[in-house]
Structures are given as structure tokens and as C-alpha cells.
Amino acid sequence: MSSDDKNHQQGADMGRRRMLIGATSALGAVGVGFVAVPFLKSWMPSARAKAVGAPVEVDLRTVKPDQIIKVMWRGQTIGIMNRSKKLLDRIGGHDEQLSDPGSAVIDQQPEFAVNEFRSMKPEWLVLNMHCTHLGCIPQVLPEPGAYAWEADWPGGFFCPCHKSKFDLSGRVFKGVPAPTNLIIPPYSFLDNNTLIIGVSGAA
């Protein structure tokens, strides 16, 4: 590629970045984390950015397969999970046990997430972690097996407050206190490695 072509490409990338971020100048950066590691404070957006609900940028290269990190956006805990094929294969096959397998309750996700994976890209689950019953944070339990509350747990999220259960797409099981699926926030991908929470858009 010639230097002119490179300059043109860099200019196009910068233009897309500006478009996604829009008028919001206080963009917070967040990043690395693992299951059971709640937050990495050094990469969190500033208090002012959080107060105004600024978009939050996440470096996806830091989220290893089958791990989840948690960041704050508009005062809410948002989980970003890198679902390998192993986890994606656990999402199908139990629709009859779910209250809303097809994401018919439209307030619970952007239109782009109305699919069984409830995501723009199947491998990336971006989820408001607050239980839709009374707001507790469910435990992340992706491994299937026999648990105290479920002899045949398919893997998913379990809310310890009142025992609501969600699958690995955040879809709620029948017969629990939570009335709806977990919320999918608006988000977009700046590029293959960069997620922006708070700006809804295409991949």
C-alpha cells in the first residue's frame, strides 16, 4: 500500500471513530478483567464521564475466551463476555424452559440483539448485569452440571437473591421471580477489537 493509500485509510478510520463517539467528548476507557474480578479501576471512566452517561470504550483484546469483564455505564454494571463455541453451543435446546426465548419484550434489547444469542456478534455478549427482579447482580456460572437449585443446570447466570435463572444469552427461565430477560444495552464496534457501550450501531 502506498503512503497516500495509508494516509487515506488512517483518515477513514479516524472519521469512523469520530462518528461513533459523536458529540460526547468525555469518553471513558476500560479494559482487562476476568471472571470473578469485578472491575479494574485504573481503566474506568472518570467520575464526570460516568455522571453524564458518556459512552465507554472497551479493548476486547483483553477479554479471553469464556471470560467476562464488568464495567460501569450510567451507574449500571455491564458484563462483556467472550463466548467461545463451547458456550454458544449451550444456548440452544432449552427454549421451552424460557419465558421469552425469542426476545419478544422489545424493551429488553436493541433490535440488533433480537436473536438467540442476543448480540450483534454471537461471540460477544454485552449485558446489563442487574437482575430484572430487584436488581441484584447474578453469579456467572457458565459450566453445566448439578447445582443446589438445578439438577441439570445448562450454564448461565444465577441470581442468589431470590433464585432467578438466566441462560448464557441472559434469557430468563420460567418459574422464577425475574419477569423478563436481562437487558442488552446499546453498543457498537469501532473495529474488531474495540467495543463502545452507549452508542448503538451496526457491526
Min dist CB 139 to ligand FES, Å, is: 10
What residues between 106 and 135 interact with ligand FES by CB under 6 A?
131, 133-135
Q: Give yes or no for residue 164 binding ligand FES (CB under 6 A).
A: yes
| Nearest one of 153, 145, 149 to 161, comparing CA atoms | 149
Residues paired with residue 30 on neighbouring β-strands, in sequence order: 58
Q: Which of 8, 162, 175, 193 forms a contact with ligand FES (CB under 6 A)?
A: 162
181 binds ligand FES (CB under 6 A): no
For residue 142, how far is the Cα from the chain centroid? Answer: 15
Cβ nearer to ligand FES, comparing 62 with 181: 181
Residues sharing a CB contact under 8 Å with residue 161, sequence separation 6 or more, in sequence order: 131, 133, 134, 136
Report in angstroms how near the CB of residue 128 gets to ligand FES at its nearest: 13
Q: What is the DSSP letter of 172?
A: B
Nearest-approach distance from CB 45 to ligand FES, in angstroms: 26
| Residue indicated by cell numbers 469483564 | 69
| 174 contributes a contact to ligand FES by CB under 6 A | no
Q: Which grid coordinates are listed for 63?
A: 477479554
3-state secondary structure of 175: coil
| Buried b / exposed e along 13-40 (16+ C-beta atoms within 10 A) | eeeeeeebbeeeeebbebbbbeeeeeeb
177 scored as a contact of ligand FES (CB under 6 A): yes
Beta-bridge partners for 82: 124
If the CB atoms of residues 141 and 161 are measured against ligand FES, the closer one turns out to be: 161
Least distance (Å) between residue 131 CB and ligand FES: 3
* Residue 83 in the binding site for ligand FES (CB under 6 A): no
Of the two residues 61 and 162, which places its CB atom closer to ligand FES in the complex?
162
CB nearer to ligand FES: give 64 or 162: 162
At closest approach, how far in Å is the CB of 160 from ligand FES? 8
Task: Indicate whether 141 belongs to the interface with ligand FES (CB under 6 A).
Answer: no
- Per DSSP bridges, beta strands 156-159 and 139-141 are antiparallel
- Residue 61 per-residue DSSP state: G
Count of residues that interact with ligand FES, criterion CB under 6 A: 11
SS3 69: strand
Comparing C-alpha atoms, which of 186, 55, 203 is closest to residue 123?
Answer: 203
Q: Binding residues for ligand FES, per CB under 6 A?
A: 131, 133-136, 159, 161-162, 164, 177-178
